[in-house]
Amino acid sequence: MIINKEMKELARELISKFPEKVRNSKDIFKVFITYVYSIIEDKINSTKQVSVKNKYIKIRKSVLQYFIANEKAITSEILKNKSTQ
């Protein structure tokens, strides 16, 4: 399980790489979650080892749970990062 400090660092990294230019701030979190899901899904699909796939599936589950639990903070960070670009 990834601890909160590592989750926050992962969130910052993913937010900084988030390429979407969403105009509607209400939809930005949904688009971001889809982006995160697809990044991890690509990792899952790029490996053939079942143990590695299972590892990424667990990571995806915990990352998405953390992001959804912290939706307001994540959205705020996305919008702040978007305004500085």
Per the CB < 8 A criterion, the answer to whether 74 and 32 are in contact is yes
Per-residue confidence (pLDDT) for residue 57, from 0 to 100:
93
Look at 84 and 37; give whichever has higher pLDDT.
37
User: How far is CA 82 from each of CA 13, 37, 43, 68, rounded to the nearest angstrom?
Assistant: 13, 20, 26, 19
Q: Delimit the domains of the chain by residue range.
A: 4-84
pTM for the model? 0.82
DSSP letters for 45-68: HT---HHHHHHHHHHHHHHHHHHH
Look at 84 and 61; give whichever has higher pLDDT.
61
Per the CB < 8 A criterion, the answer to whether 14 and 74 are in contact is no
> Per-residue pLDDT tens for 46-75?
999 999 999 999 989 999 998 999 999 998
